[in-house]
């Protein structure tokens, strides 16, 4: 084998053009697939960095409207108590805290409240200090903190004396008792600070706010199936005991590993891996074509060897050796392509709050090596096998003239080229679908105008803002100060902005109608907004009125619903004057519908099945954690109002930071960066597919012209016109491309239909885009065939006849 490898190296060095093209083809095809596998590995496949991670699970509250819902505080307490013999359970709830220190700017780290045993369940030991204690998970005794390693470095500069430091959290002194080690962020995400859960009396009885994520670890001797059955029983019992809140609920377990990437992002990652496979198949088809053309050119050499007594095994071995050399060189080059692509993906996806790293590990290296050799061998064996079956007499009789190959070989080559064009059309269509879908998703002019709006988050979490009066006083003063800033046209406060659905999902009853079965009531995203909200965002009131200064905490409750809710629930009726109430309020707190607002779009690739929206006056239910929105007079004024906003908030309360303050277009860009990166990747895939397909058909056509030089010369000598030769050469290439494009168009219809079902917000596939992509590919094929066709018209008939 060593001698065969040496011979293969000498042979490949004698054909530098062929060798370079083959290696580049492998590098592009395998490199892209390795990069995508590296991303899949980093996000989904790499084992979690926890002891006995296979015994960790997530417990979901399954409901028809939301299969992966979180839990209420009261439900968590009941579930933890009932399952004590089955699993250790811990709860996590994202929470907004404000951290302040003397002579330092206030900060609002991404934070969460966790049960005291959270780190014990995950088996995470702190790098410094200790974890929480049971007695600290009690309201009033929870003024202790654990911080992430990243936040320790970012906020405190890695100070060695951090343990025991006292900071103010929402105005209350709190002690830092532990620093976590650098951790796998796929479970905790960007959380920088943890505090004991410590349910207060109101929370411990609450069964309406589903804010708690439950993690668990199976106890020794308990298998997942046993635990699943136990939790199913517990869920049914909770549904029977509390039908109003849990009537449509069951409990289901998922391995914690499977939750690292879920929903639409999981689907997108798998789609990318699948489409990158098309690039690899096109590259493999090109490689097979190159190897077959090389084998056909060496047919006389193999015939001479066979005539001298070489066996089929001896004929195939050198070709296999060449494939192995190409695989090794192509695989090494592919690792460079993968490393470059991985670095680019890391820069695109990472941010200071949630860093990613798509680096190669043992699994990625094994994938790259394996796919390199498997690809080269599988797609190199067919040419080698055909070469070993060469007809010795026919080849030797041909003298020094080239051969166009057998009928089977030519059909094989044509099939490879047609396959390349079909796959290239699939890539082009998929890329066009995503590009058009992202443009449609981010074009949010329907419902509000982002170009003149600045948004930020204010969390009035300190003890100063526990009641309604100080919260409203803060926002009233802030609004008055901001309206005095040049360039500010309006200011609003709300639970959330139109880019996202409100975090508050509520079931509603309609006055005068029979109450539906528990769990079947209409669900709406509920957003508390100030009277200026609709003018600030530019959302139109279609019927009725907007909110006014007279909608106060002491006035009659009123609401505004969106047009979708009005059409669905009040078809044929005037919704204005109708009354609705949130399920579970005793007595029912009926609110009058005073207006209907236009529907607004959100940045959701999979729109929520909940299409209803209810707006209520912010003064009638003020929240501490809110979005402030400032409308500038013109888009040019937007940058000028950013700094005054920070100064005005600090002037009212120096311990109060403004989070994520930025113009709405920038927010849209940041939140769609993942999609824009996917668009760029798909465009790269499509470009590579088209390039490889063009090279393939060019190679086949050029080889055909070279092998039929004598025939072409004879045709010219017998009076054939240049146009006849152009039709002959171009027609043969275009027929192959047409067959491939036709097959690809059928596949593209299925692909776009599948993508439309996976990403409803992107809309449906358009046959016009498929036809446009097909026309583009045929134009590329025409250009690729035209170059060798023009060369054919310059054949000298006398040279061809003299050779005969």
Tell which residue, 798, 584, 599, 781, has the closest CA to residue 692. Answer: 781
CA–CA distance, 727 with 732 (Å, rounded to integer) = 8
Domain-terminating residue out of 621, 655, 689: 655
Say yes or no: 91 and 204 in one domain: yes
Nearest residue to 784 via CA among 662, 707, 659, 692 = 692
The answer to whether residue 65 sits within a structural domain is: yes
The residue segments making up the domain with residue 541 are 461-655
Per DSSP, what are the bridge partners of residue 166? Answer: 175
> Is 793 among the domain residues?
no
Look at residue 797 and tell me if it is in a domain: no
Structure token pair of residue 487: 């360039």
pLDDT of residue 605: 62
Q: What's the mean per-residue pLDDT of the chain? A: 84
**Cα–Cα distance for residue pair 653/655, rounded to 1 Å:** 5
One domain, residues 123 and 218: yes
Ranges 298-307, 388-397, 524-533: which has the least confidence: 388-397
Q: Decide if 782 is inside a domain.
A: no
Report if residue 408 sits inside a domain.
no
The listed range with the strongest mean pLDDT (238-252, 354-368, 528-542) is 528-542
Write down the pLDDT at residue 115: 97
Token pair recorded at residue 190: 């960007």
Whole-number percent of the chain with pLDDT over 70? 88
**What are the DSSP calls for 526-577, one per residue?**
EEEE-TTHHHHHT--EEEE----TT--TTSPPEEEEEHHHHHHHSTTS--TT
DSSP category for residue 43? I
> What pLDDT score does 1 carry?
73
With cut-offs at 50, 70 and 90, classify the pLDDT of residue 686: confident
Query: For residues 385 and 520, which has the higher predicted lDDT (pLDDT)?
Result: 520
Residue 252 bridge partners (DSSP): 60
Query: Domain for residue 507, yes or no?
Result: yes
Q: Which of 196, 230, 259 is the last residue of a domain?
A: 259
Average pLDDT over residues 238-263: 85
Which pLDDT band holds residue 286 (cuts at 50, 70, 90)? Answer: confident
Q: Is the pLDDT of residue 491 over 80?
A: yes
C-alpha atoms less than 13 angstroms from C-alpha of 128 in its C-beta half-sphere: 19
Average pLDDT over residues 454-477: 88
Q: What pLDDT is recorded for position 96?
A: 82
Residue 105 covered by a domain: yes
CB under 8 A, 24+ apart: contacts of 704-709: 704/404, 704/729, 704/732, 704/788, 705/729, 705/788, 705/789, 705/791, 705/792, 706/402, 707/296, 707/402, 707/403, 707/404, 708/404, 709/402, 709/795, 709/800
Q: Are residues 583 and 503 in the same domain?
A: yes
Q: What is the DSSP string of 189-257?
A: TT--EEEE----HHHHT--S---BEEEEEEPTT--HHHHHHHHHHHHHHHHHH-HHHHTT-EEEEEEGG
| Segment 559-616, tens digit of pLDDT | 999 999 999 999 889 999 999 999 877 778 899 999 999 988 777 666 666 789 999 9
Tell me the C-alpha to C-alpha distance, in Å, between residue 310 and each of 306, 317, 644: 5, 11, 86
The pLDDT, as a whole number, for residue 393 is 55
- Among positive and negative, which fits the CA dihedral 502, 600, 613, 603? negative
Residue 490 has pLDDT above 80, yes or no: yes
pLDDT 10s digits, 351-385: 655 666 777 778 888 888 888 888 777 777 766 66
CB 745 within 8 A of CB 425: yes
Alpha-carbon gap, residue 253 to 611, rounded angstroms: 28
Q: Are 16 and 68 in a shared domain?
A: no
Task: Check whether residue 284 and residue 381 sit in a common domain.
Answer: yes
pLDDT for residue 400: 46
Q: Are residues 44 and 110 in the same domain?
A: no
Residue 397 reports pLDDT greater than 70: no
Predicted local distance difference test score (pLDDT) of residue 236 = 92
What gap in Å lies between CA 474 and CA 464, rounded to an integer? 10
Residue 611 bridge partners (DSSP): none
Pair (18, 156) in one structural domain: no
516 vs 513: CA distance, rounded Å: 9
* pLDDT at 342 exceeding the cut of 80: yes
Is pLDDT above 80 for 246? yes
CA distance 259 to 470: 40
Domain edge (last residue) among 620, 636, 655: 655
Q: Is the pLDDT of residue 447 over 60?
A: no
Which is higher by pLDDT, 759 or 94?
A: 94
Residue 796 in tokens: 């000298």
Q: What is the number of structural domains in the chain?
A: 3
Q: Are residues 68 and 173 in the same domain?
A: yes
Does residue 27 belong to any structural domain of this protein?
Answer: yes
Q: Which two tokens stand for residue 528?
A: 């508390």
**What pLDDT score was predicted for residue 388?**
57
348 and 395 co-located in one domain = yes
Per the model's pLDDT, the better-predicted residue between 45 and 74 turns out to be 74
Quick one: pLDDT band at residue 402, thresholds 50, 70, 90?
Answer: very low
Structure-block tokens of residue 130: 């200790």
Tens-digit pLDDT profile for residues 254-273: 999 888 877 777 887 888 88
169 plus 21 within the same structural domain: no
Q: Are residues 334 and 368 in the same domain?
A: yes
More confident: 6 or 481: 481
What share of residues in the chain are helix, strand, coil (percent, to 5)?
Answer: 55, 15, 30
Integer Cα distance of 511 and 515 in angstroms: 9
In this prediction, residue 748 carries a pLDDT of 87
Q: Which helix (H) or strand (E) holds 51?
A: none
Binned at pLDDT 50, 70 and 90, residue 92 comes out as: very high
Q: Same domain, yes or no, for 342 and 377?
A: yes
């Amino acid at each position: 084998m060593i001698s065969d490898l040496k011979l293969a190296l000498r042979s490949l060095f004698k054909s530098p053009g062929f060798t370079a093209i083959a290696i580049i083809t492998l590098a592009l095809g395998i490199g892209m697939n390795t990069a995508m596998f590296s991303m899949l590995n980093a996000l989904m496949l790499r084992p979690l960095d926890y002891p006995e991670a296979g015994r960790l699970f997530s417990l979901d509250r399954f409901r028809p409207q939301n299969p992966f819902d979180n839990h209420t505080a009261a439900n968590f307490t009941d579930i933890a108590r009932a399952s004590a013999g089955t699993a250790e359970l811990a709860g996590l709830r994202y929470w907004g805290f404000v951290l302040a220190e003397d002579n330092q700017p206030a900060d609002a780290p991404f934070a969460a409240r966790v049960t005291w045993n959270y780190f014990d369940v995950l088996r995470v030991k702190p790098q410094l200090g200790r974890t929480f204690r049971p007695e600290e998970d009690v309201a009033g005794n929870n003024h202790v903190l654990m911080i992430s390693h990243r936040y320790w470095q970012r906020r405190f500069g890695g100070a060695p004396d951090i343990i025991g430091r006292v900071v103010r959290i929402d105005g209350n002194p709190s002690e830092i008792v532990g620093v976590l080690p650098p951790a796998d962020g796929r479970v905790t995400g960007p959380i920088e600070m943890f505090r004991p859960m410590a349910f207060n009396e109101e929370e411990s009885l609450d069964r309406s706010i589903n804010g708690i994520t439950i993690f668990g670890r199976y106890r020794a001797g308990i298998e997942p199936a046993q635990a699943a059955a136990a939790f199913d029983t517990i869920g049914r019992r909770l549904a029977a005991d509390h039908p109003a809140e849990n009537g449509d609920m069951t409990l289901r377990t998922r391995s914690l590993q499977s939750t690292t990437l879920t929903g639409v992002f999981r689907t997108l990652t798998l789609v990318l891996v699948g489409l990158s496979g098309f690039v690899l198949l096109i590259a493999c088809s090109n490689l097979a074509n190159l190897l077959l053309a090389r084998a056909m050119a060496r047919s006389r050499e193999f015939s001479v060897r066979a005539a001298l007594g070489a066996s089929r095994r001896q004929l195939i071995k050198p070709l296999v050796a060449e494939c192995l050399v190409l695989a090794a060189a192509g695989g090494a080059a592919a690792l460079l392509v993968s490393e470059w692509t991985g670095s680019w993906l890391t820069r695109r996806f990472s941010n200071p709050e949630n860093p990613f790293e798509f680096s190669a590990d043992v699994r990625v290296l094994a994938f790259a090596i394996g796919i390199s050799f498997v690809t080269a061998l599988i797609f190199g064996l067919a040419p080698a096998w055909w070469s070993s079956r060469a007809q010795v007499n026919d080849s030797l009789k041909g003298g020094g003239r080239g051969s166009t190959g057998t009928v089977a070989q030519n059909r094989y080559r044509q099939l490879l080229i047609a396959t390349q064009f079909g796959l290239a059309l699939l890539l082009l269509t998929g890329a066009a679908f995503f590009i058009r879908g992202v443009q449609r998703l981010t074009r949010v002019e329907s419902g509000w105008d982002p170009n003149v709006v600045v948004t930020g988050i204010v969390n009035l979490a300190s003890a100063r803002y526990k009641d309604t009066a100080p919260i409203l006083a803060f926002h009233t003063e802030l609004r008055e100060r901001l309206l005095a800033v040049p360039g500010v046209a309006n200011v609003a406060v709300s639970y959330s902005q139109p880019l996202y659905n409100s975090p508050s999902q509520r079931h509603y009853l309609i006055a005068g109608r029979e109450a539906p079965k528990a769990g079947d009531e209409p669900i709406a995203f509920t957003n508390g907004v100030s009277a200026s909200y609709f003018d600030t965002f530019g959302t139109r009131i279609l019927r009725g009125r907007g909110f006014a200064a007279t909608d106060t905490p002491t006035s009659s409750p009123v609401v505004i619903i969106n047009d979708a809710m009005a059409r669905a629930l009040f078809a044929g009726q005037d919704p204005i004057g109708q009354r609705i109430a949130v399920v579970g309020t005793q007595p029912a707190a009926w609110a009058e519908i005073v207006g209907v607002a236009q529907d607004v779009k959100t940045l959701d690739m999979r729109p929520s099945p909940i299409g209803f929206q209810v707006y209520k006056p912010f003064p009638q239910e003020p929240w501490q954690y809110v979005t402030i929105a400032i409308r500038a007079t013109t888009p040019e004024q937007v940058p000028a109002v950013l700094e005054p906003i920070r100064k005005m908030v600090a002037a009212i309360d120096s311990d109060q930071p403004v989070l994520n303050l930025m113009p709405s277009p920038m927010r849209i860009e940041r939140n769609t960066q993942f999609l824009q990166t996917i668009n760029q990747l798909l465009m790269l895939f499509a470009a590579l597919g088209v390039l490889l397909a063009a090279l393939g058909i060019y190679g086949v056509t050029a080889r055909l012209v070279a092998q039929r030089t004598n025939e072409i010369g004879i045709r010219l000598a017998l009076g054939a016109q240049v146009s006849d030769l152009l039709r002959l050469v171009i027609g043969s290439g275009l027929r192959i491309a047409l067959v491939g494009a036709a097959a690809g168009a059928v596949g593209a219809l299925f692909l776009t239909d599948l993508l439309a079902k996976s990403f409803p917000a992107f809309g449906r596939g358009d046959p016009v885009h498929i036809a446009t992509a097909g026309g583009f590919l045929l134009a590329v094929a025409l250009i690729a065939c035209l170059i060798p066709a023009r060369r054919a018209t310059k054949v000298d008939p006398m040279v061809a006849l003299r050779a005969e």
